[in-house]
Amino acid sequence: MTMAVAYGLAVGGLIVLEALARRPGSALPTAGECLAWAMGHPAGRVLVVLAWWWAGWHFLAR
Amino acid sequence: MEEPTGGLAGRREQARGGWPRRGLLAALLAAAAVAGAGLPSFAPATYAAVIAVGVVVLGAACRTHVRTARARERPALWWPWAVACAAFAGLEAWALLDPAQPTVSDLMDPVLAEPVWRGLAWGVWLLAGWGVVRR
């Protein structure tokens, strides 16, 4: 139960960050802008793909 | 006289070809999601499917990068995202090291056991992979 709450808070934090970033005039980048920056570099691109793949493995395969 | 392939004419042509292509991709995505809904956890076919999709997306993402690579400026306030992602990763690592703690997928297992939600999860995952390739 404690872990479920902790995961919920972590996911909630990500949602709050995205909402704050989408406010007009916000200096905070959106998740998409951070991803775009990370994916501008070869290593970042591979890391993003691996993170995406891991999510599929974790939730769908095992 | 040849028709121009770039500029406004080219964009119009691309737009005409865009919707059928998007429709086809949406149909393929829906079919893959339906197929994924029938793949249970811990099954060799599921392992093979996830690995195969991952290899295809990794290859396509690297090829796309060669075509479109351009350095972007690092956002000034990137660190709140890093902190939030690190918190999530820390929780997951803790759960993986301590068998008494559930991982996020352990918590989601009852939901993903339902074919409808499992198919939806496959669809979201594949759509995200498509987004990674396109970016």
Does B77 contact A29 at a Cβ distance shorter than 8 Å? yes
Single-letter code of the amino acid located at A38: A
Contact A10 B62 (CB under 8 A): no
The count of domains in chain A is 1
| Domain extents in chain B | 8-71+85-134
pLDDT exceeds 70 at position B15: no
* Nearest-5° Cα angle at B118, A8 to B128: 70
**Rounded distance, CA B50 to CA B62, Å?**
18
pLDDT at B2: 45
The reported pLDDT for the residue numbered A30 is 93
The answer to whether residue A52 scores a pLDDT higher than 90 is yes
Domain of A26, in residue numbers:
2-61
Among partner residues A3, A39, A42, which is closest to B95 by beta-carbon distance? A3
Nearest CA in chain A to B55: A53
Give the nearest partner residue to B50 out of A31, A40, A56, using CB atoms.
Answer: A56
Amino acid letter for position B93: A
**Which amino acid type is present at position B41?**
S
Model pLDDT, residue A36: 87
Identify whether the C-beta of residue A40 lies closer than 8 Å to the C-beta of residue B72.
yes
Residue pair A45/B65 in contact by the 8 Å Cβ criterion: yes
Give the model's pLDDT for residue B4.
Answer: 47
Residues of B in contact with A25 (CB under 8 A): none
What residues of B are in contact with residue A27 (Cβ under 8 Å)? 76-77
